[in-house]
Amino acid sequence: MTVLAHRINIEADQKFVFDALSTVEGWSRWFTPEVTGDFTEGSEVVCRLKGRSPIRLRVTSVKPESGIAFEVLEGPFAPGAKTSIELSSGGDGRTAVSLRHETPPIPEEDLAACNSYWGILLGQLRAYSQTRDSAPSLIADSLTHLLDEAAIRDASARFADVATSADYDGFRALWADDAEWVIGGTEGQPFERRAKGIDDIVSMLRTLRAERDYFVQFAVQGSIEINGDDAAARCVCHEAARGPGESYYRNNGIWSDRLRRSDNGWVFTSRTYRYLWLDLSPFSGDIFPV
């Protein structure tokens, strides 16, 4: 497990801070207006952010006026993560808040987003506790943006995963029905492949993967720009393949992506690949089926 830790001081009474952390009314004032459930030990709490899947938590420990702990059952980054929040006197009427978040292994970029997630949450808790003014829409917007970025990174990672494993059903789930997929296709590019519509896109992957003894794709997410329910992104990619026969293929390139929010998360509406480097020379090594 990876551990994230935060500590802040809040200029507010400890009981008030505890109530903000341990009641539906409190969470609805600093986290999101849509909170249901209760905060007794063993109970579940559901938080809903606009346009996102719900966040479900199970309360695992409640220490009156001094702490609360819960497990993430459903939500961003890593279901199964455990969070504990301890309160103590910070002197001069302040409350010290210590947070410990234990998460299963997740990609480095998701870990950074998760760390930012908790920083934003604690900052909003402090603002509410010190001013008594609720601003859940602000935190909801900030969290939604973080979650959207994580979901777009996940789409790029899943693309590489399903392309490598030839999971055609998984590949289909990444695309909008009217999407377009282009490989090369501009002046100076070594190849050109195009597909329009989800059926043609899946068929093109089948053709590209046919007779490959070996294929792998690695992806490193670049920039992400989100505008409402649409997004643009870039992704650096490396591929290597062998087959059919004694043909070989290695390249580096950049994906330029357009995505749309859907009921099934973010899906590609267009994906265009531009080669930066291509090597068709033989390479050595053994292949191990998985």
Would you list the domain boundaries of the chain? 2-134, 146-279
> 220-234 burial, b if ≥16 CB within 10 A, otherwise e?
ebeebebeeeebebe
Which tokens belong to 141?
């917007």
Query: What integer pLDDT is reported at residue 16 of this predicted model?
Result: 95
Q: What is the mean pLDDT of residues 160-170?
A: 95
- For residue 4, the cross-strand partners are 101
Strands 192-196 and 175-184: antiparallel
Residue 124 pLDDT > 60: yes
Read off the pLDDT of each residue in 168-182 and give the average, rounded to a whole number: 97
If you average pLDDT over residues 10-30, what whole number do you get? 94
**Do the Cβ atoms of 85 and 62 come closer than 8 Å?**
no
What's the confidence (pLDDT) of residue 79? 79
Q: How far is CA 106 from CA 77, 112, 115, 158, in A?
A: 7, 10, 12, 14
| CATH topology (fold) of 2-134 | Alpha-D-Glucose-1,6-Bisphosphate; Chain A, domain 4 (3.30.530)
What is the model's pLDDT at position 137?
58
**What pLDDT is recorded for position 168?**
96
* 2-134 against 146-279: fold identical: no
Average pLDDT of the chain, as a whole number = 91
Would you place residue 51 in the very low, low, confident or very high pLDDT band (cuts 50, 70, 90)? low
User: Which has the higher per-residue pLDDT, 78 or 26?
Assistant: 26
Q: How confident is the model at residue 144 (pLDDT cuts 50, 70, 90)?
A: confident
Separation of alpha carbons 72 and 5, rounded Å: 16
Pick the CATH number of 146-279 from 3.90.930.60, 1.10.150.300, 3.10.450.50, 3.40.190.80: 3.10.450.50
> Which whole number is the average pLDDT over 81-108?
91
pLDDT of residue 77: 62
Confidence band (pLDDT; 50, 70, 90) for 140? Answer: low
Query: Strand order of the sheet with strand 192-196?
Result: 192-196, 175-184, 265-279, 248-262, 230-242, 214-227
Distance in angstroms (rounded) separating the CA atoms of residues 258 and 268: 6
